[in-house]
Structure 1
Amino acid sequence: MTRLPLETDPVAILQQLVRIDSVNPDLVPGAAGEAEIAAWCADWLRQQGFEITVLEQTPGRPSVVGLKRGTGTGRSLMLNAHLDTVGVATYAGDPFSGDLRDGRVYGRGAVDTKSGLAAILVAAARASVHGMAGDVIVTLVADEEFGSIGTEEVLRSFRADAALVIEPSSLELTTAHRGFAWFELELTGLAAHGSQPERGVDAIWHAGLALRALDELRQRLNAAPAHATLGHGAVRVSKIAGGDDAATVAARCVLTLERRMLPGQSPDSVEAELRALFTALAVEEPEFQFALTRLVARAAFEAEPHWPILRALSGNAERVLGRPAVTRGEPFWTDAGLILEAGIPCVVFGADGEGLHADTEWADAPSVRALADILTDTITEFCGLTAD
């Protein structure tokens, strides 16, 4: 890896990070992954006096933890952002240019979320140079865009009194987001010649019954009271496959289901909900045979208004931005769900920009500098200075 000069301007750091290809290889087979950007960030933090731990249970997929120890008399704070990006196959122009034009830094990952990486690096270094009462724990993780193996690995070894998860949020506080669960529904029928369908059991026909039942569930979800920032939960079919040929009754049909959950709904509860739905179908239609398998599930996230980290972030955002802090909810999932599940209060916050996963992506440079300022002051307030 070519070492770049040590920088302390978050926008200049952002430009350098965008120029490092860190496309997630689970999304794009053979892609670069996080090794080079992890090494760059580890080197930068090491030069700022952080203790460095590289976690790499999955070979080639490193996460970096930078620790600046406090005196033990203050609260510890974890700062979390991801190293990986989505692919660049359809990106318009050079996805790794890092160009700064008209106050915007362009390139894949510019806003999602190398802007967050840059701001964390600068803020953690600025805050800790004065001596902290509590520990500052920088966690720069692999694989957020696919399976979140990085944050899972970090949480097996590191704890904190609170966390800030840095994802693009237009400098608004994300205090809630949905969870999700993916399921495979396998319907088993009986093959027969298409000229005598009565001798078979049509799994595709039964898929139609399942689709109707799922639509009824969707209507019930939409009729329930809406969450203040997240609206309603959701259910949908994302994939369906079945049948062998045009002349044979389908003996098998497989549906992939997605269930988006609100805070208070667990993966176990939505699985029980779906299982009850299909069990009721089997009672009505005795030949309806199903197997429901949970593929991946992540719980929803919601911050509590009384958490000290939320109050500290909100107050510092208002001071730096010169206006009351805005709160919001997101329909998508972030690693905050895992961090909260581990018992660590957290808030999601990040820079402004556009083009997440799109053909052109950019981060607003002034917002990246504001983000670094807000994080610096929040770290200082939450962890405390040794002089305190």
Structure 2
Amino acid sequence: MDVVKTAARLLRAESPSGGEAPAARVLIEEAEALGFSPSLDEVGNVEFVLGEGEHEVLLTGHMDVVPAGEEQDWPYPPFAGEVVDGELWGRGAVDMKGALAAMLAAMERLAADPPPGRVRFLAVVQEEVGGLGSRYAAERLSADVALLGEPSSLRLMRGHRGRLEIWADYEGRLAHAARPELGLNPLPEMGRFLATLEAFETATHPDLGEASCTPTFAGSQPRATNVVPGLAQVCIDYRFVPGEDPEAILERMRLIAGDASVYVPESQRQSGEVRMNYPMIFPPYLVEADNPLLNAALEALGQKEAGLWWFTTDAPYLASSGAVVLGLGPGDPALAHTTRERVATSELDEAARAYEAVSRKLLEVLRGG
């Protein structure tokens, strides 16, 4: 198969979170053309397996993409899949349809000379909004190790910090701004809380570095310039490391938040007939540097040490199945979610070869070779 053409076709199949069906159809058609028998599970994940045996390697990534924003802000249309000067442009080129196309190409290469064991392809839904697809699939997965195709410029990755979304609500009492004494303005108290956050103590991890506490939204309701608001809200993006307890972080924040209601919101997501509720807590993940599967993958790639992602991924949910999750994806992660998203076509071909090589090496190690 032509990995670039497949990736471009995937980019043209617009697939926002919850609307992945167009991309799923492309993957199914491409896989069938290669002689595989893909299927859709109850949430819309695309899956097929090559080979048989005791051990399994999973090649996985997500089909959904974040919104493209205004088309005029892009040098090239975000859903046209154009190749310009050796680069494939568009939403999802890096995050992460390029990786899915490369994984398909790797499956074709593996099928030409099947390794001992199983290699499973899995493309999931709704990663960008909480990981419903991976959470659902993890309940039945039995892979020994997974290669997750989030962008890494083809450097092997072994983990990331977690994310905790915290809201603080300050209740006020509405009044005309010309008579503020008739109401209760919640904004000053919220302001004091924001100022105090600058000194909020965070933990440090020897591998993942320092946690971070970043206010990302502040607003009031109603949004009127001549009204004392009845509600003021602030959102804090807290990136936490292993050893930090989300509930303990919340309690510490409540101590400095005054009369605010401090909480982690819960998200409800649905795909097909499957509904999931989960709090906006996205765990950290880390593979130890001396893990033999990690080091086998590094050897296959000719790399000396693995890196760390600065964003969260589906790795913790996939790992709940018992798999060791390693990261490897084409594209510069700094281009993800931007209007400059693009990936070198040569890197897509290189990714296909890398997925094949690492899969073979991992199955060899798992078999005891």
Answer yes or no: same fold by TM over 0.5: yes
Distance 1:112 1:64 in 2: 17
Counterpart in the other structure of 2:276: none
Q: Normalized against structure 1, the TM-score is what? A: 0.79
Distance 1:99 1:251 in 2: 49
Counterparts of 1:44-59 in structure 2, within 5 Å, are: 44-57=30-43
Cα distance change, pair 289–15 in 1 and its aligned pair in 2 (3 A):
closer
Distance 2:143 2:167 in 1: 36
Counterparts of 1:247-326 in structure 2, within 5 Å, are: 250-265=229-244, 269-279=245-255, 282=258, 288-295=259-266, 296-318=280-302, 324-326=303-305
* AA aligned opposite 2:331: D
Match 2:336 to one of 346, 353, 356: 356
Greater Rg over alpha carbons, structure: 1
Cα distance change, pair 292–15 in 1 and its aligned pair in 2 (3 A):
closer
Counterpart in the other structure of 1:83: 63
Distance 1:356 1:225 in 2: 27
Counterpart in the other structure of 1:334: 313
Structure 1 residue 234 corresponds to structure 2 residue 215:
no
Q: Deviations over 1:317-369 (max 9, x none)?
A: 11xxxxx3453222211111322244321111111347322223221122222
- Structure 1: which 5+ runs fail to align? 1-7, 27-32, 283-287, 319-323
Distance 1:372 1:142 in 2: 22
Cα distance change, pair 346–199 in 1 and its aligned pair in 2 (3 A):
same
Aligned-pair CA distance for 1:211? 1.4
Q: Normalized against structure 2, the TM-score is what? A: 0.83
Aligned-pair CA distance for 1:370? 1.7
Aligned-pair CA distance for 1:161? 0.9
Aligned-pair CA distance for 1:162? 0.9
Counterpart in the other structure of 2:45: 63
Aligned-pair CA distance for 1:198? 6.6
Distance 1:342 1:294 in 2: 26
Distance 2:253 2:322 in 1: 32
- Give yes or no for contact 1:204–1:243 (8 Å, CA) kept in 2: no
Cα distance change, pair 107–292 in 1 and its aligned pair in 2 (3 A):
closer
Identity %: 25
* AA aligned opposite 1:12: K
Instruction: State the superposition RMSD in angstroms.
Output: 2.8
Distance 2:190 2:180 in 1: 16
Distance 1:356 1:362 in 2: 8
Aligned-pair CA distance for 1:246? 6.2
Match 1:347 to one of 326, 347, 350: 326
Aligned-pair CA distance for 1:191? 5.3
- Give yes or no for contact 1:275–1:292 (8 Å, CA) kept in 2: no
- Give yes or no for contact 1:178–1:333 (8 Å, CA) kept in 2: yes
SS in 2 for 1:263: coil
- Give yes or no for contact 1:336–1:346 (8 Å, CA) kept in 2: yes
Match 1:121 to one of 104, 116, 139: 104
Aligned-pair CA distance for 1:139? 0.6
Counterpart in the other structure of 1:5: none
SS in 1 for 2:308: strand
Distance 1:157 1:113 in 2: 23
Counterpart in the other structure of 2:22: 36
SS in 1 for 2:238: strand
Aligned length: 349
- Give yes or no for contact 2:14–2:23 (8 Å, CA) kept in 1: yes
* AA aligned opposite 2:40: V
Aligned-pair CA distance for 1:79? 0.9
Distance 1:100 1:243 in 2: 46
Distance 2:323 2:92 in 1: 26
Bigger mean CA deviation after superposition, 290-299 or 164-173: 290-299
Counterpart in the other structure of 1:212: 195
